[in-house]
Amino acid sequence: MENEQGTSLVQYLSPGQILVGVEAKDSYDLMSQMLDALVESDSFRAQTNISRDQVWRLLIEREKKQSTGIGDGVAFPHGRIPGYKGLSICLAILKRPVDYGSFDGKPVQIACMTLTPEEQPALALRLYSKVAELLADEAIRSFFLSAADARLIYNYLRKKEFTVETILTARDIMRPQLLRIPPEMPLRDAAHLMMRHRVEAAAVLEKDGRIVGMITCDDIFRYGVPEFFSHLQSVAFIREFDPFEKYFLNERKACARDLMSKDFAALPPETTMLEIVFALTIQNYPKVYVVKAGQCIGVIDRAVVLDRIINF
């Protein structure tokens, strides 16, 4: 059933597509069992000229590019299939966790497999976002892991009326805001932190998570360069000028607050992809910070968009 908020999650599921107590030797064995369940589903049977072997090859190709273990014991294997109609989902709860090559090194105990049309990666992304949101809830996670059979999980999802959003938003693609630079952090420490994380821009955050500014490599580079330099066509005639002299003279006493800019993009989780791309390209912000109730809860940059959308 579709409404203004989205499409019901159970619309894509049946008890036969929920596997409980799965015993798998490794990640490929797990994926194979999940694909077998999907092949028997009504959604897969409705496809024309699409075979299990074809789908399996695409799933493996995707897995070889980068593990779909998304962390915290969860995996999201997925395939974008040319000519596929609609969306197919399989949910698997493992009896014992298996190594999945996840970025955080944790073995996987819950997996969700999706098959979507090649031309519609946003469809899988919206589902990915919903599954990640559900499994971040410890109560839901514990219920899934303790459920005795598939029907219990299916009825639980149907009763709760979980929905998949119809529009891709900032919430669906953002990454956690892991880099924390307080306003009083010495400039030297801020520069080292940005270098260690290989970032061009970082949010300056108060202790309560409120974003008050942004510091960029550009800000640091410009710190010792006189304003009139911006009007010059060439600096060949002053080759002896050291652009970092002022930086090194002041780095011990300067802090992030002294260099940060208050011109940054802070947008709510409901921000659409169009607005995000507009901020990154037309307005030329290096990052979009996702803010909820005054706190910075995530970050989006061009690399995130490439990873989440184009390479998903």
Enter the tokens of residue 189: 């420490």
- Residues with Cβ < 8 Å from 243, sequence gap 6 or more? 221, 224, 225
78 as an active site residue: the answer is: yes
- Residues with Cβ < 8 Å from 177, sequence gap 6 or more? 203, 205, 289, 290, 296, 297, 298, 299
- DSSP output for 240-255: T--TTHHHHHHTTT-B
264 φ, ψ (degrees, to nearest 5): -145, 160
The C-alpha angle with vertex 304 and arms to 272 and 38, in degrees rounded to 5, equals 80
Instruction: Confirm if 124 and 80 have CB atoms less than 8 A apart.
Output: yes
Instruction: Confirm if 284 and 236 have CB atoms less than 8 A apart.
Output: no
Instruction: Confirm if 103 and 97 have CB atoms less than 8 A apart.
Output: no
Q: How far is CA 279 from the centre of its chain?
A: 18
Which ranges of 104-216 does DSSP label H, i.e. alpha helix? 121-135, 138-146, 150-160, 170-173, 187-197
Burial string for 93-124 (b: 16+ CB within 10 Å, else e) reads: bbeeebebebeeeebbbbbbbbbbbeeebbbb
Question: Which residue in 78, 192, 197, 231 is the catalytic one?
Answer: 78
Q: What positions carry a catalytic annotation? A: 78
